[in-house]
Structure 1
């Protein structure tokens, strides 16, 4: 471990970061013990919590020790593309931009409530250097993670962090450890044919969507900051031979863990079973506290929980009309959080065949297939675990996997009962949900605004078929010949809500049916302005999406709850970023 810290120190000296290179910072209590910061004299976890937010990065540090002490690191120090074996991480430093770097946006919530940083820190040059990959935080050794994965159903072999650097872990005042990762920060041994960079348009989408999903209540990674440079990056956006010069950008992403199904698959396929067991035990110990780490059935218990959590995540995605776009096993978190935002999309007109990714020619990852892909990916996880399972455990694991469809359907039904304002359960709820979605599909009604406007309309208005003009999405559904019949059944079901009122029903529904989601046209509008160095709409969207369930004057003025503009019909999003 001290070898890598020495390498880190020498690298910082080469960059000229003398003020960050004090040995007492590098090898101090932040690296080897958190007790200095998190325990007071009574040896309880109150000391640091009582402190104010950190106002200078000179008093803030990260640590890579938990990874360096636990796993073997790639012994090859040179940064070139290669087949990596017998390790979990390669030590590799970000590549600083050559040109000026601008701060596009920051998440105040992430800075202050996850990273303990006062928001004023984001205005400093040191912050800009750190989040763009130009400077390393004391105590950190940047790492690139080795993993594999099934891409579009086919085993792709070694993949890994081809343009991302894990710059360290931070344990905050609440005792929660978060892993910080730069995306778009340069080449690694896993870059394959890539340049290790991300472009501004895709980085804006990732920054905005990861934060938007959090405020929608969907388990997700977070985005702390977004910076853009003047460095040129060449991209063939739609794989049609038309290369365009774009600007390189970096997102600082934050998650409890970046391990994914592909992390275990790579080790299983390489027959590195000792490392597979080590990584799996680490994941259970660190991220699954309810699993008895000493039990001989711990891997089975772990698998059962991942199955349940994946079913929950897939149900939550569909409840807000979210399609990930690239549900490969290397993009599926072991913690069942949403990661790796690429060609995602929020469905507008309700359509189970909605495909957000123009690169997905066969529609494998269409929104109506995501639940099934979840089961496919869990099956690949089980295959990776199989070398560590006894014959009896394998049999039980298959039984657990067979229960996934019921877990998904039950959670789906629960979420949509709430979206429709139902209290409790009724035997006809499934029929009412299915019929309503069918009406929306037949009329191509907007998914988000139909549910939202159903949340805002009164029962008397529904009964009289008196739908206001501004309820454009609900009026689209109302043209269906079966809509009035559905309304009769719906109102009868609402009568079963004991101790309820129409006011309570509307209040309850508006708390779960968003008025604003990150539609492609909204992101595209912000991107076009950002490419002209106007970041106002990026910041407006960030502000609006923090309160997706509340009507906001600025959002209404921008048309975020109106019909998508006609030019948006031709928008395309691909894997190229």
Structure 2
């Protein structure tokens, strides 16, 4: 185990590429470079609120015991071997080209080599101004930092590819924020998250040099990325093979999001990881009642571009942007387009297999696709709680029983009373499902085991997050600690105090139902 302040850090990204070494934090365009040196701006009083012990053990990082290590987490100390920087990238935001964006409130400190030889980028989010902050202050508030810290770790334990969070630090400073961009700003307590990933490269990292026609930088970045993160790809066709792997990783990520009911909320190309990770947690949410048109992001209204049911198609669109960015490196685009066009079939194959696991089917046959579609239609029509419904499905008696029995069994997942036709719809679905389940080649318990692995029992619902944030702002952390424990064990029944629907009061409360990009 090594301390954060005494570690010898690697800086292979900044060593490989040209950057702006001036250290000037003035917001500006930075053509020709992939990063700008950015030293964190010190805060008043950094204090550790949370520490991910399991991640620290994996990385070989010693828990902070002196102020110098805490100061690293708060941006008040930069170790001698660190080269802190903000990355330069571009992106399409809400379907429109936004040009240069970059790390506006994230600063990468350096690369930490773990005991197993793997390298991890350590990045502070909320550590102050960068050349890419534009009109913002580069800071983060406790509200958004708690959400990022907890959800990063929650997704990891759900088995969804994600960036991780090592620490949550309060800064002792107040930060001015207009939570809903409605002209009502207010001061909130500041905080910083140290987030960790093998790389924070994103689709927009490649869009930037492509847009500026910096083909030498583009080729160098592609070659470096493949050599470092896809070293098994060799030969003349490796750029195409690389794109195919990114396409498949992205599709699999979308399938995982659909499996657990996660809605990212702002799937711009600058928020799409080149490694297929969930990245940049902002106005996200899990589904409560199943609704493919649900978006938690106020900025995404009224079009709902990033709604739950559209995420797979948006990923396809974003992959098209990445394909356009790397196209100048290829002699023609026919093969690139052909790979991209395999996405729908690849995604749907994985999606139906995932839904088969959620339903406990031994294998998904062509005829099962109609049954799967009926499930999602019924969930939507009846406004059923997605997580609770699938948990109740695991415990469905072998003998279905009457309409009254079925309605009573699934009652805990209802957000309203069902009408007569809806009760009949539910009974018909469950009766047909029970018949299909009985046709499995294996025993019923094998199906139940498969379902338990695919269906989380605990999800980090927005109203729980909101309550935990309110308590932390008052100096209390009991709920925060409970949620931190529960998210590490989401498939068990060990935390059933949280196995409940969203309460009525949370449906309209700010921060529980809808959020903004500042969340």
Fold match, TM over 0.5? yes
2:321 and 2:263 map into 1 onto residues whose CA distance is: 21
SS of the equivalent of 2:354 reads: helix
Pick closer, same or farther for the CA change 1:68–1:58 going to 2, 3 Å. closer
Do 2:413 and 2:501's aligned partners in 1 also have CA atoms closer than 8 Å?
Answer: no
1:153 and 1:415 map into 2 onto residues whose CA distance is: 29
Pick closer, same or farther for the CA change 1:104–1:462 going to 2, 3 Å. farther
Partner of 2:242: 302
SS of the equivalent of 2:300 reads: coil
1:431 and 1:108 map into 2 onto residues whose CA distance is: 45
Deviation string 1:14-52 (CA, Å, 9 cap, x unpaired) is: xxxxxxxxxxxxxxxxxxxxxxxxxxxxxxxxxxxxxxx
SS of the equivalent of 2:423 reads: coil
Partner of 1:44: none
Partner of 1:42: none
Partner of 1:390: 331
1:279 and 1:153 map into 2 onto residues whose CA distance is: 24
Which of 250, 262, 270 pairs up with 1:322?
262
Which of 367, 371, 393 pairs up with 1:454?
393
- Across the aligned residues of Structure 1 and Structure 2, the Cα RMSD in angstroms comes to 1.8
The reply to whether residue 567 of structure 1 matches residue 508 of structure 2 is: no
The reply to whether residue 545 of structure 1 matches residue 487 of structure 2 is: yes
Do 1:186 and 1:197's aligned partners in 2 also have CA atoms closer than 8 Å?
Answer: yes
Which of 334, 338, 342 pairs up with 2:274?
334
Partner of 1:50: none
Deviation string 1:379-432 (CA, Å, 9 cap, x unpaired) is: 1001101111112xx101111111111111111101000000011222221111
Shift of 1:308: 1.2
Shift of 1:480: 3.0
Shift of 1:463: 7.4
Partner of 2:20: 74
SS of the equivalent of 1:105 reads: strand
TM-score by length of 2: 0.95
SS of the equivalent of 1:341 reads: coil
Partner of 1:440: 379
Partner of 1:47: none
Partner of 1:276: 218
2:192 and 2:69 map into 1 onto residues whose CA distance is: 13
Partner of 1:508: 450
Shift of 1:464: 7.9
Partner of 2:9: 62
Do 2:362 and 2:447's aligned partners in 1 also have CA atoms closer than 8 Å?
Answer: no
The reply to whether residue 185 of structure 1 matches residue 127 of structure 2 is: yes
Q: Structure 1: any 5+ residue segments left out of the alignment?
A: 1-52
Do 2:383 and 2:414's aligned partners in 1 also have CA atoms closer than 8 Å?
Answer: no
Q: Structure 2: any 5+ residue segments left out of the alignment?
A: none
SS of the equivalent of 1:136 reads: coil
SS of the equivalent of 1:246 reads: strand
1:523 and 1:445 map into 2 onto residues whose CA distance is: 21
> After the TM superposition, which of the residue ranges 207-216 and 474-483 deviates more from structure 2?
474-483
SS of the equivalent of 2:184 reads: coil
Deviation string 1:90-138 (CA, Å, 9 cap, x unpaired) is: 11100110x222211111111111x2024xx234323211111111134
Do 1:261 and 1:330's aligned partners in 2 also have CA atoms closer than 8 Å?
Answer: yes
1:462 and 1:382 map into 2 onto residues whose CA distance is: 53
Pick closer, same or farther for the CA change 1:430–1:282 going to 2, 3 Å. same
Do 2:168 and 2:192's aligned partners in 1 also have CA atoms closer than 8 Å?
Answer: yes
Which of 366, 385, 409 pairs up with 1:427?
366
The reply to whether residue 136 of structure 1 matches residue 78 of structure 2 is: yes
Partner of 2:434: 491
1:285 and 1:387 map into 2 onto residues whose CA distance is: 19
SS of the equivalent of 2:201 reads: coil
Partner of 1:348: 288
Do 2:141 and 2:189's aligned partners in 1 also have CA atoms closer than 8 Å?
Answer: yes
Deviation string 1:65-94 (CA, Å, 9 cap, x unpaired) is: x12321112143322111101111111100
Do 2:50 and 2:168's aligned partners in 1 also have CA atoms closer than 8 Å?
Answer: yes
2:352 and 2:200 map into 1 onto residues whose CA distance is: 30
Pick closer, same or farther for the CA change 1:163–1:460 going to 2, 3 Å. same
Partner of 1:480: 423
Do 2:247 and 2:343's aligned partners in 1 also have CA atoms closer than 8 Å?
Answer: yes
Partner of 2:56: 111
2:98 and 2:358 map into 1 onto residues whose CA distance is: 39
Pick closer, same or farther for the CA change 1:491–1:58 going to 2, 3 Å. same
2:316 and 2:412 map into 1 onto residues whose CA distance is: 33
Do 1:463 and 1:488's aligned partners in 2 also have CA atoms closer than 8 Å?
Answer: no
Do 2:352 and 2:364's aligned partners in 1 also have CA atoms closer than 8 Å?
Answer: no
Partner of 1:95: 41
1:89 and 1:102 map into 2 onto residues whose CA distance is: 29
SS of the equivalent of 1:546 reads: coil
SS of the equivalent of 2:328 reads: helix
Matches within 5 A, 1:24-423: 53-54=1-2, 56-57=3-4, 59-64=6-11, 66-97=12-43, 99-113=44-58, 115-118=59-62, 121-292=63-234, 295-361=235-301, 362-391=303-332, 394-423=333-362
1:540 and 1:167 map into 2 onto residues whose CA distance is: 31
Do 1:106 and 1:122's aligned partners in 2 also have CA atoms closer than 8 Å?
Answer: no
Q: Which has the larger radius of gyration?
A: 1
Do 2:203 and 2:322's aligned partners in 1 also have CA atoms closer than 8 Å?
Answer: yes
SS of the equivalent of 1:354 reads: coil
Shift of 1:471: 4.7
1:298 and 1:170 map into 2 onto residues whose CA distance is: 28
Partner of 1:3: none
Shift of 1:556: 2.8
Deviation string 1:182-202 (CA, Å, 9 cap, x unpaired) is: 000000111100000011101
2:373 and 2:109 map into 1 onto residues whose CA distance is: 46
